[in-house]
């Protein structure tokens, strides 16, 4: 008996499917197709009253897409991953890095010689 009652849970007796009479008419729509550099085709639906944007991000690859199938916008340039050391080397020359290292080592040795606890 418990299995049978769970199938009608959430509905009332006499209720039927809600159609357009209960919800009202659907708004008029337009479909717009966007094309990206990776040959993806994305179909978006907008209201007829709305102005479709010239570009849209492709939902498949995230690259920009446009309305022109023959001339899609170019893909974003992918920058390679840089380590922290690569960013430091962009900011400092080898001579500056050596001077900073020598200064840090001198400070460390001075503190150790004074008996400070250095980790």
Sheet hosting strand 41-47, strand order edge to edge: 41-47, 29-36, 64-66, 55-57
**pLDDT score, position 27:** 84
Residue 63 and residue 39 share a domain: yes
Beta-strand relationship, 64-66 and 41-47: unpaired
For the domain that residue 46 is a member of, what is the CATH number? 2.20.28.270
What is the pLDDT averaged over residues 65-81? 90
pLDDT of residue 90: 92
E strands, 2-83, are 29-36, 41-47, 55-57, 64-66
What is residue 12's predicted lDDT score, i.e. its pLDDT? Answer: 65
Average confidence (pLDDT) over 90-118: 92
* pLDDT tens-digit readout, 14-57: 666 655 666 677 889 999 999 999 999 999 999 999 999 999 99
Our count of domains for the chain comes to 2
> Looking at residue 17, what is its pLDDT?
62
Task: Supply the mean pLDDT for the chain.
Answer: 85
Instruction: Report CA-CA distances (Å) from 93 to 61, 82, 88, 100, 103.
Output: 39, 17, 9, 11, 16
Domain assignment present for 93: yes
What single DSSP character describes residue 94?
H
């Amino acid at each position: 008996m418990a299995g049978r009652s769970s199938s009608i849970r959430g509905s009332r007796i006499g209720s039927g499917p809600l159609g357009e009479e209960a919800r009202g008419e659907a708004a008029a729509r337009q479909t717009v197709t966007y094309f990206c550099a990776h040959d993806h085709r994305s179909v978006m639906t907008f209201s007829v009253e709305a102005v479709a944007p010239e570009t849209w991000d492709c939902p498949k690859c995230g690259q920009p897409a446009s309305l022109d199938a023959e001339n899609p916008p170019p893909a974003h340039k992918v920058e390679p991953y840089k380590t922290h050391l690569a960013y430091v080397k962009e900011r400092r020359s080898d001579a500056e890095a050596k001077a900073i290292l020598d200064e840090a080592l001198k400070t460390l040795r001075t503190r150790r010689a004074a008996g400070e606890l250095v980790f």
